[in-house]
Structure 1
Amino acid sequence: MPVAVATDSTAYLPDPPTGPAAVAADVWPTVVPLTVVLNGVPGLEGIEVSPADVSRAMTGRRDAVSTSRPSPEQFVAAYRRLFERGATGIVSVHLSAELSGTVEAATLAAAEFDNRVTVIDSRSTGMGLGFPALAAARAAAGGADLAEVAQATRDAIDRTFTFFYVDTLEFLRRGGRINAAEALLGTALSVKPILHVRDGRIAVRDKVRTASRGLARLVDLAVAAADESAVDVAVHHLAAPERAEALAGALAVRLGDRLHDRHITEAGAVVGAHAGPGLACVVVHRRG
């Protein structure tokens, strides 16, 4: 087994490849789940708690949902399983340390394995994390060593851009992922915020008046981020499949032949808990 790759459940990866591409499944990232608490009951993201569960909870009390990082013990167990399967080293890439303590938990666990685990902060989440994790898996499948897989991951992080629209900033404010002053921008004069992930933090990028203008602006920002490069694109949503399909269609038209892989997925419970129903997100990954 080559270098193994670990990530967490906020990567929202596509399904592993099958058929002729199935070789990549040998090094498909191992996912360590975060915990979501719904009305006081904890569950593992993607295993015990679904996006639909979060959407239902959030239409009731706004304080009904909270999240927590994996424990260091969860990471120790995951790393140990990978080494027992024959991994020579592990690259473990996770959501931004500015948004979660997941990187810290992974780093504590990695200390038990004598420099055989490299922990990397993706400075993002969703496929802003997922694309670097997949880049790591491709490098590992090609026989790269631990340092080379880590470098491939960091290079992918630098070529990945995340933009998203939310109907309200209230959920992000309540979860401490955005400050009160920025949250106020989203309530003044019915302003609709366009956000991006910058240096690992969520920040307001633009302000529009309507949801339709917000989605159009997401397309503009994604196309600008692509520049003239060939790109892979992921579109995430929470309880808003029509928005996701509209975004994906508009991006296909605007990007044309530059668009290679495209993924449309519902955001998982952790991101959904902080963004709220109606989330629409575009992640652009420039190919090398």
Structure 2
Amino acid sequence: MAAGFAAIALWSALAALSVSAGPIPPFQMVAMTFAVGASIGIVRALARGVGWRGLLGWPMRIWLLGVGGLFGYHALYFAALQLAPPAEANLVNYLWPLLIVLLSAPLAGERLAWPHLLGAFLGFAGVILLAFGRGLSFTGAHALGYALALGCAFIWSLYSVLSRRFGETPTDAVAAFCAASALLSFACHLLFERTVWPATTTAWLSVLAIGIGPAGPAFYLWDHAVKHGDIRALGAFAYATPILSTALLIVCGLAEPTGALLIAAALVTVGAVLASRELWRS
């Protein structure tokens, strides 16, 4: 569970670091940061005596799950941001923690009780409040973008829940998935984008920080968490990501504080406590 909390904390830093990195094209950013994240995992695995076969020798279904989850999610996410307003697309995307809770019963064999469901719904309510507090406007003209954002939510929730089904696959495999996702992102960058390098030392350091945090070790931590922790509670706790992200933007002077943030944080906190009630008891 501590690994899951650490992953959520690292993801909350992504928005602030991305702003500091500057206007780098999305697929270029994924290729650069995933390459850093993959390198960390590969070096760690080799240092522990895990050979290349232990990194690459997985059945095709494992490769499809890993690369489909990491690359598929980010490809759809960036496409959604191009076709719909970012705030609205992000709100639809943040159905994934709720879907993790809902899918954990049929796909991972977990028992769902009312605290898990209520906790997840309270977390989503907090995110809705935060989003509408900053002004949202859903229109039919962006329906395709919203559909892609919904696809993001399903891909990441399925990746997270099904990873638990394949719990015998070590976390070292995630390094290979990150490397493959970096290569696919680089190919998409060459096809669809113009290269824009970070303009300052701070921008370069921000890109590096993303690779050694939200786009690297966070994936390894999350993989370990969903395989060995309480995935129902993790789904509810994941709603802390946008709350912490917005709070960090405010601390860094990149956003203005609002009363909606405090209420949203309270809803997410209550929801997380409810969903993790069994943990508190034990």
Normalising by structure 2, what TM-score?
A: 0.26
More helix by share: 2
Higher relative contact order (CA 8 A, sep 6+): 2
More strand by share: 1
Normalising by structure 1, what TM-score?
A: 0.26
